[in-house]
Amino acid sequence: MAGETTHRNLPADVRATAGDQRPFGVVLSCIDSRVPVELVFDLTIGDVFSVRIAGPVVNRDVLGSLEFATKAADARLVVVLGHTGCGAVKGAIDGVRFGNLTETLGKIFPAVAASGTGRSEDRDYSTRVAERNVRNAVDEIRQKSPVLEEMIGAGLVRLVGAMYDVSTGRAVFFD
């Protein structure tokens, strides 16, 4: 946000993590090219696991990845990161249906339904749907992963949602 980045020595980071990895967290985020987690949060190789899927939405593969990151690799923070201007969210609002994307966008439909009526071109409305989708994903992770729910309940892992604004570069976190 301040326009200053931490100096990174990527070759040194590669060497430092070659034998083992112990990221402090895992971020479930959208595939959007404007939201590369490591750059958004000024991180480097080995800092976080990054799980990317349009939406972001939750499925069994995503849950398995989050469980690996936390239970097997000791990550202690799980962030579900949505963003403004999300094409998947806009597609769900517009009812886009084709190929495998239909199933992916179907996971966003509950957020659309919970957000009232609106149009994908309406920035405030699509942002509201995107935030509701993040909150739904957080709830779904808790409901569908006994592994994570147990770790969260024991205070070993923290699960939060966040929204990233692609026009300002600001991320806002919420429980």
Least confident piece of the model among 41-45, 150-154, 162-166:
41-45
Mean pLDDT of 61-78: 98
Largest CA-CA distance found in the chain, in angstroms, rounded: 51
| Structural domains of the chain, ranges and CATH numbers in brackets | 21-174 (3.40.1050.10)
Using alpha carbons, list the distances in angstroms from residue 72 to 31, 126, 166: 24, 36, 32
- For residue 104, pLDDT over 90 is answered with yes
**What is the C-alpha separation between 136 and 139, in angstroms, rounded?**
5
Residue 113's pLDDT band, with cuts at 50, 70 and 90, is very high
**What is the C-alpha separation between 29 and 16, in angstroms, rounded?**
25
Write down the pLDDT at residue 8: 83
Q: Which amino acid is at 76?
A: R
The beta strands (E) that lie in 7-157 are given as: 25-29, 48-52, 77-83
- For residue 1, pLDDT over 70 is answered with no
> What predicted TM-score, i.e. pTM, was given to this entire model?
0.94
Decide if 90 contacts 173 (C-beta within 8 A).
no
Write down the pLDDT at residue 9: 85
**What is the C-alpha separation between 63 and 19, in angstroms, rounded?**
25
Whole-number average pLDDT of the chain: 96
Write down the pLDDT at residue 105: 97
- For residue 53, pLDDT over 80 is answered with yes
User: pLDDT tens for residues 146-162?
Assistant: 999 999 999 999 999 99
